[in-house]
């Protein structure tokens, strides 16, 4: 499985930081500057922009903002698109706040004023020093640590730039989730700075010493951070371009479909055929997940009691998605899905059907370990269950705006008859529907979104059960028959015109 999470990269970075201790390799000024700038860029991405909303959120985030602002004279802007307020700019330049405001008033430093604070583009700040990126081919532990933290910063930036967000799972907007990750980065910064103090030329020690003092003080400010963070579960995917075997084929088809589905929902007028297909694919995904859960019990990977709960949840969610796709089938935006989406959804349907047909055949003679890796398959489906939370939530938010804009149509013959629609009914035309005529659709979309959230939570709970208990329960697999799965597993194709 070609998946990397923020937690994976943090774990790798901590190993590299620990490996600094036994090495006696000298650290050059360029190597330290690269690490210094990368650590700041990562912290800047984690903290993100100032909060708006409730006072509690603003106050909580202000504490993290102060920790970031105390970073001593950052060597480089974290990214060209970043903006600073006057105090942050002063910290970046290593001057007093009054000096920055004076430069702004003299027009020597470009800035905008929104009535409360100045906003300064990072590209308008004078460069303090030239920072070269770490060499990705270098075997030096500090270079490898810098590269790892750089990839981590890129992942955080990509996650923060997402246009849609997963309800109930948005750790970059939750300071309680960000703080433990910041603490781990600061602890690695302390380790790197201490190593630099021991293995750098004397004339280059001032900067590592300043960063070590800052990082230790910041750790004290953050307080008790020994707790898990949902941010560790944020993942980046690199599916194989030429998949081989059932697991790679499943992963590649799931990632391609989820990516194209996001693009389709981001269109100005999304296709209701896509919205219908998302519900239909969700139904199929839940059916395959149920089969994999049953196989996991047979293989001793999942306790029976946990599998029973998940199986019931999956069946109920599949029924809700079935009703939702029927509702979307009654309306249209007159927009067709892209060729790329149709191709992706057809490949996904074929891949899921192949898993059911070829790799999850009933019978004790099936060697599951040889046919398909159950653990990897379940991981891929859990990630897609998270995608479905985002996709169904976005779909649930679309119905009402489309109706209010007069962009959602239905056959006049199935709508309440009015004098204005008599002609359209007689000629079999589509007409724009009214908000009060779409109550069932809107309700079905909301129920589908809630069901997707519940399934994601249920699958995560099953993973925790699998990691703490390993039992063999043949009885559950025997009770979960093909007939029981029939309503969810016997699916039509993507049915896109």
Contact at 8 Å (CB) between 391 and 265? Answer: yes
State the Cα–Cα distance between residues 3 and 380, nearest whole angstrom.
Answer: 9
* Structure confidence by residue, pLDDT tens digits, 76-121: 766 666 777 787 777 777 778 888 888 888 888 888 887 777 888 7
Strand-pairing partners, residue 410, are 431
Contact at 8 Å (CB) between 246 and 380? Answer: no
SS3 (DSSP) at 169: strand
* pLDDT value of position 359: 62
Exposed, middle or buried by CB within 10 Å (0-12, 13-18, 19+), for 216?
middle
Contact at 8 Å (CB) between 433 and 327? Answer: no
Residue ranges in the chain modelled with pLDDT below 70: 1, 52-53, 77-81, 127-130, 163-168, 224, 358-370, 419-420, 422, 424-426, 428, 464-497
Task: Give the residue ranges of DSSP H helices in 81-174.
Answer: 86-93, 97-105, 141-160
* pLDDT value of position 447: 95
Tokens 């100045």 map to which residue?
118
Going from N- to C-terminal start, the domains of the chain cover: 3-76+127-233, 241-489
* pLDDT value of position 78: 66
The Cα-based distances of 226 to 20, 169, 177, 282 in angstroms read: 23, 20, 11, 36
Joined together, the tokens standing for residue 329 give 């089938």
Contact at 8 Å (CB) between 59 and 81? Answer: no
* Structure confidence by residue, pLDDT tens digits, 151-201: 999 999 888 877 666 666 778 888 888 999 999 999 999 999 999 998 888
* pLDDT value of position 480: 41
* pLDDT value of position 244: 82
SS3 (DSSP) at 5: strand
Cα torsion for 57, 390, 410, 337, to the nearest 10°? 130
Tokens 């709970």 map to which residue?
461
Residue 281: CA atoms inside 13 Å, Cβ hemisphere, count?
A: 33
**Bridge pairing between strands 3-5 and 112-113:** unpaired
DSSP annotation string for 19-45: TTTT------HHHHHHHHHHHHHHHHH
pTM of the model: 0.74
Q: What stretch of H or E contains 409?
A: strand 409-411
User: 299 Cβ partners below 8 Å, 6+ apart?
Assistant: 368, 369, 374, 472
Rg (CA), the chain: 27
Q: What stretch of H or E contains 215?
A: helix 206-222
State the Cα–Cα distance between residues 317 and 488, nearest whole angstrom.
Answer: 9
SS3 (DSSP) at 394: helix
């Amino acid at each position: 499985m070609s998946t990397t999470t923020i937690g994976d990269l943090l774990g790798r970075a901590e190993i590299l930081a620990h490996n600094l201790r036994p090495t006696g390799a000298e650290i050059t000024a360029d190597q330290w500057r690269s690490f210094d700038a990368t650590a700041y860029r990562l912290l800047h991405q984690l903290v993100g922009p100032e909060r708006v909303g409730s006072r509690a959120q603003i106050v909580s985030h202000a504490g993290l903002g102060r920790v970031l602002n105390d970073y001593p004279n950052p060597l480089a802007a974290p990214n060209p698109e970043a903006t600073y307020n006057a105090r942050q700019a002063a910290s970046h330049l290593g001057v007093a706040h009054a000096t920055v405001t004076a430069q702004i008033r003299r027009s020597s430093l470009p800035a905008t004023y929104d009535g409360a604070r100045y906003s300064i583009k990072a590209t308008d700040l004078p460069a303090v020093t030239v920072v070269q990126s770490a060499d990705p081919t270098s075997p030096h532990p500090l270079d490898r640590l810098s590269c790892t933290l750089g990839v981590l910063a890129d992942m955080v930036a990509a996650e923060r730039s997402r246009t849609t967000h997963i309800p109930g799972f948005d750790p970059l907007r939750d300071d309680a989730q960000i703080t433990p990750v910041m603490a781990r980065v600061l602890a690695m910064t302390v380790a790197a700075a201490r190593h630099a103090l021991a293995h750098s030329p004397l004339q280059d020690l001032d900067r590592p010493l300043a960063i070590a003092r800052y990082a230790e003080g910041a750790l004290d400010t953050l307080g008790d951070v020994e707790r898990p963070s949902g941010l560790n579960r944020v993942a980046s995917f690199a599916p194989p371009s030429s998949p081989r075997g059932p697991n790679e084929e499943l992963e590649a088809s799931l990632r391609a479909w989820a990516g194209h589905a996001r693009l389709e929902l981001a269109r100005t007028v999304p296709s209701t055929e896509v919205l219908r297909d998302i519900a239909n694919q969700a139904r199929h995904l839940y059916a395959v997940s149920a089969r994999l859960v049953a196989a996991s019990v047979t293989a001793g990977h999942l306790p029976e009691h946990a599998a029973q709960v998940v199986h019931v949840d999956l069946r109920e969610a599949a029924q809700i998605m079935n009703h939702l796709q029927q509702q979307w089938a009654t309306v249209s935006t007159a927009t067709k899905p892209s060729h790329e989406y149709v191709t992706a959804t057809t490949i996904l349907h074929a891949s899921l059907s192949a898993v059911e047909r070829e790799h999850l055949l009933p019978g004790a003679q099936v060697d599951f370990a040889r046919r398909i890796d159950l653990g990897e398959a379940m991981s891929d489906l859990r990630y897609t269950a998270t995608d479905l939370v985002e996709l169904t939530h976005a779909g649930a938010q679309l119905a009402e705006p489309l109706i209010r804009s007069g962009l959602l149509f239905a056959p006049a013959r199935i709508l309440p008859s009015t004098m204005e629609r008599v002609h359209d009914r007689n000629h079999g035309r589509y007409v724009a529907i009214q908000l009060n005529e779409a109550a069932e659709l809107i309700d079905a979309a909301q129920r589908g979104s809630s069901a997707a959230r519940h399934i994601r939570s249920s699958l995560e709970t099953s993973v925790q059960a699998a990691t703490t208990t390993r039992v063999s329960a043949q009885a559950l697999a025997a009770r979960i028959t093909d007939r029981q799965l029939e309503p969810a597993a016997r699916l039509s194709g993507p049915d896109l015109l």
